[in-house]
A and B are shown apart, each in its own frame.
Chain A
Amino acid sequence: MNAEMLKGHLDNVILATLERGAAHGYAVIEAIRRRSGGHFDLPEGTVYPALHRLELAGLLASDWVDPPAGRRKRVYSLTRAGHDALGERRAGWAEFSRAVGAFLDVSPA
């Protein structure tokens, strides 16, 4: 998928990824790659500023975690506002994809 196409949806993709549980930055990148089947091709560093943006917007919270070995990591989790925002965005996306799908003659996944 074109990186520009994904950029507009990156926040939603990150929120949905963290809905399954808290994760640190690189784990989010890996989860996105895995769940998209490798289709999302964007510079991996762009995920970190997006995490920062969502945190500043109050949709994510972060805590430092010291693993048994290695460098401490910043772990992100969804806040209540993040859960609410994801619910709203999910509903909006379903409506949008149905509408566009009607023109492009494809069924939404």
Chain B
Amino acid sequence: MSGDYATALQRELGFDRKLAERAHEDLAEYLDEMAAAGMARDEAERRFGAVEDIARSYASAALPGRLRQTLKAAGWLALATFLFMRWRSIALGFDPFAQPTLLSLIDGIGFLIGAAALIAAWRRRADGAAMRAPLLLAGAAIAVSTGASLLRALPALGGPDGMLILATGAVQLGLLVWLAARLRLIGRYRRMA
């Protein structure tokens, strides 16, 4: 296979290793067929298309599927946020009927906005490109809710439930970082596609 063309295609799709491998396999098959037909490599690469255009086509093809995967990841994050928030509230004895504080309001409202944005993203799942904005909103709102929830629990960090707060907080922050990385990747797809 031609090194320059293949390398350039791999580089263009370097943000998604699986997609780059798929493009590499397809290009290898095509160039083999053309070589078997007696076509010069340069001519075969010219007929395959400009590297940027081909990479754009692959990114465009993969974008809807990647958005759906990100939607699933965001759904798991929302579920974990809700369950851990409830777990901490019960363990720390927060009274659900007590006068709400600023943090408890931010926690609850942030989660509700995140959940609503997730539902909006799910309803737009047929149109991959339209899912990104609600997914971004969901991620931001759940991040705010998580921050408020952890700040509420912070005074109990030195107590017997300290490990619970640390463990659930670490899992939530890890999921948030994962979602942020996926959303950043989606941004790369969109810029290319």
The chain A residues found within 8 Å of chain B, CB to CB, are 24-26, 29, 43-46, 48-50, 52-53, 56-57, 70-71, 73-74
- Nearest chain B CB to A80's CB is how many angstroms away? 19
Q: Chain B at the A interface: mostly helix, strand, loop or mixed?
A: helix
Residues of B within 8 A of A48 (CB): 23, 26-27, 30, 54, 58
Residue from A43, A49, A52, A56 within 8 A of B47 (CB atoms): A43
B187 at the interface (CB under 8 A from A): no
Interface residues in B, total, Cβ within 8 A: 24
- Nearest chain A CB to B55's CB is how many angstroms away? 9
Residues of B within 8 A of A52 (CB): 22, 26, 58, 61-62
Residues of A within 8 A of B25 (CB): 74
List the 3 closest A-B pairs by CB distance, nearest first: A43-B49, A53-B61, A45-B48
Q: In the docked arrangement, what's the CA distance between A108 and B60, Å? A: 31
- Nearest chain B CB to A89's CB is how many angstroms away? 16
Residues of B within 8 A of A50 (CB): 57, 61
Residue from B26, B32, B53, B57 within 8 A of A70 (CB atoms): B32
- Nearest chain A CB to B49's CB is how many angstroms away? 3
B100 at the interface (CB under 8 A from A): no
B102 at the interface (CB under 8 A from A): no
Q: In the docked arrangement, what's the CA distance between A26 and B30, Å? A: 6
Q: In the docked arrangement, what's the CA distance between A25 and B65, Å? A: 21
Residue from A25, A49, A74 within 8 A of B58 (CB atoms): A49
Query: Are the C-beta atoms of B57 and A74 separated by less than 8 Å?
Result: no
Q: Can you name the residue of chain B whose Cβ is closest to the Cβ of A46? A: B57
B28 at the interface (CB under 8 A from A): yes
Residues of A within 8 A of B58 (CB): 48-49, 52
Q: In the docked arrangement, what's the CA distance between A44 and B28, Å? A: 13
Q: In the docked arrangement, what's the CA distance between A57 and B1, Å? A: 29
